[in-house]
Structure 1
Amino acid sequence: MGLRKLSDFAYLYPGSPSTLFRIHKGKVVIVDPGHGKSRHKDLAREARKLGLEIKAQLATHGHADHVAVSTKLEAPLYIHRFEFSIAESPLARDIITFGAKAPKGFLVFQFPEEVRVHAVFEWGDELFGLKTVDLSGHSPGMTGFLDKESGLIYAGDAFFGERLLETVGVPYFVDVSSFKRSLGELMKYAEEGYLLIPSHGMPVKGEEAEEVLRKNLNRVEKTEELVLELLKTPRSIDEIAFELMKEYSVEITPKKLALNLVPVRAIIAEFYNEGLIEAVVEKGLKWRVVKG
């Protein structure tokens, strides 16, 4: 397994997440270093093969699977300011994924170490030949990195490959409107001929990219429809997530259920704010469609 050349300046190292290598002024900048015991060694090896030094690390967002090995690479880490505390604090990472301090070892990519962020950026900034793009929704500061020179955008978790959708059920997001808006932004890049690179999935371009983005959007919209249908009978968030996973024929495990609870909460908040549903207490907190 080695680097896949995308252009004269850009390479992709596979994984989940994949890591983008961008050559800039004789050095390498990497996007989403990832996780795993030997991941940092793999990345350093690939940089040596290019005969270049790793100058900086950029992160699309602060989830553990994207930044875990950053501390083992001798290069500063840059992240959007909304993701700063999520990346640096193990407790903040637990809270955004689980809602509180999570049981030890319960989350899929939970790790106790702190991550050092050296600099924050804003959307629209130019960093090492890459432009930062607002692709929020999956997380508050989810950022895409646009490489106009190479004709690509590294989109992080703003969309997911088809295999992951089949494995998890509902795409993970904390704000459903922002997630759908970001899919719309990515559709514009796909229509312009850019190569779209998700963190989890294969790079896609042209009609293939448009199809994958539609599948993500269709899954979100179908989930919204199913939630409204389910809430004709009062249900708790746990019950909704459980029924959705059954509908999508997803293996129901505690960890996967915990992940699906997050986008369900985001949809509940959206529907409540729109006046479509209301909260009731029936042996616990439940939600139902507003009658009449």
Structure 2
Amino acid sequence: MALEKLGENLYLYPGSPSTMIKVEENVVIIDPGNGSKRHKELRRELRKINLEIDYMLSTHGHADHIAIAPKLGKPLFIHRYEFSIAESPLNRELLTFGSKAPKGFLVYQFPQEVRVHGVFDWNDVLFGLKTVELSGHSPGMTGFLDEENGVLYAGDSFFGERVIQSVGLPYLVEPELFKESIRKLMGYAEEGILLIPSHGRAVKGEEALKLLELNLQRVEEGEKKILELLREPKSVSELSYALAKDFGAKITPQILALNQVPIRAIIADLYNRDLIEAVIENDLKWKAKE
């Protein structure tokens, strides 16, 4: 995998997640990623253009985005809402599994402890990049806007088509915020900004709008399907399996477990809107109100 030039002193190292590199007085990378060899790959590609990493930024604290940060050994900056997620293995597992996860069950594990060296707020400017609020996927999900080059690295605020087809339902912790972030990204797309998801190809213009609409539709379709499925009482596990089948997603223990996070978020929203109620039928289940 080789670096792709995006603009003046701006590069992308493709992957899942992709890593963006901004060069000003310092070399800063956004979302270093994960994998046993990735730290070596990043350094190798940067050395080809006579660059060394000075700082790291992260869109959020999920393991697949920052697992190799300790191996790179450079200061890491993250939004203040993500600080405890990045530094605490248990907090990360709580977000994705609801408690401490079975050993090896989650896809991405941290080989070393991550240390955050600084936090930022939305609308700050760091290393020539403006931080943009894109919450919904996680509490402090942040995009990084390079206004000079017309590029927005959007992290997991939206996903590539293959990812959506694979998992069925976009991973989120707050559906309304996720949808609000998608609409915000549509505004950037209409301005001609190149949008880069962490998992998927960079998109621009009509292609970007089409992909954002797919993300938005999938969440709204998930909400509608859940409400329809709850005409009969169902547990979160039953909903996860039914949705995976309906969306043609891969059915694995990991995907079914991960999909329970957005399903619980949608259930909370439906409950708060007085559209469903909790019932007991040998288990905690949920049912649409008549």
- TM-score computed with the length of structure 2 as normaliser: 0.98
Name 1:122's counterpart in structure 2.
121
CA deviation profile, 1:228-272 (whole Å, cap 9, x unmatched): 000110100111111000001112110010111000000000001
Output the CA distance in 1 between the equivalents of 2:112 and 2:279. Answer: 40
In 2, the alpha carbon distance for the partners of 1:238 and 1:232 equals 16
TM-superposed CA distance for 1:112, in Å, is: 5.4
Taking the aligned partners of 1:282 and 1:9, their CA distance within structure 2 comes to 60
Q: Which aligned segments of 4 or more residues in structure 1 are displaced greater than 6 angstroms?
A: none
Question: What is the aligned partner in structure 1 of residue 84 from structure 2?
Answer: 85
Separation in 2, partners of 1:244, 1:272: 19
CA contact (8 A) 2:67 2:109 kept: no
DSSP 3-state at the match of 2:54: strand
RMSD of aligned Cα (Å): 0.8
Find the aligned partners of 2:220 and 2:127 in 1 and give their Cα distance. 36
> Which residue in the other structure is 1:15 paired with?
15
Whole-angstrom distance in 2 between the partners of 1:49 and 1:126? 28
CA distance in 2, matches of 1:221, 1:89: 32
**Unpaired stretches in structure 2, ≥5 consecutive residues:** none
Asked whether the 8 Å contact 2:81–2:140 carries over to 1, the reply is yes
Q: Secondary structure at the match of 2:7?
A: coil
8 Å CA contact 1:94–1:110 kept in 2: the answer is: no
Give, as a single letter, the amino acid of the residue that structure 1 aligns with 2:48: K
Q: Which residue of 1 aligns with 2:159?
A: 160
Which ranges in structure 1 are unaligned for 5 or more consecutive residues? none
1:205-235 CA-partner distances (Å, limit 9, x unpaired): 0000000000000101111110000011010
Within a 5 Å distance, the mapping from 1:173-212 to structure 2 comes to 173-212=172-211
Output the TM-score relative to the length of structure 1: 0.98
Q: Matched residues in 2 for 1:183 and 1:172: separation?
A: 13
Structure 2 CA distance, aligned partners of 1:141 and 1:50?
33
Percentage of pairs with the same residue: 62
Partner of 1:228: 227
Q: CA deviation at 1:200?
A: 0.2
Contact 1:90–1:113 at 8 Å: present in 2 too?
no
The residue type paired with residue 286 of structure 2 is: W
Looking at structure 2, the residues matched to 194 and 9 of structure 1 have their Cα atoms a distance apart, in angstroms, of 17
**Is 1:271 the equivalent of 2:270?**
yes
Query: How far off its partner does 1:139 sit?
Result: 0.4
**1:64 offset after TM fit, Å?**
0.3
Helix, strand or coil: the match of 1:54?
coil
Instruction: Map 1:45-56 onto structure 2 (within 5 A).
Output: 45-56=44-55
State the SS of the aligned residue for 1:6.
strand
| Paired position in structure 2 for 1:60 | 59
1:5 is aligned to 2:5 = yes
Shift of 1:113: 3.0
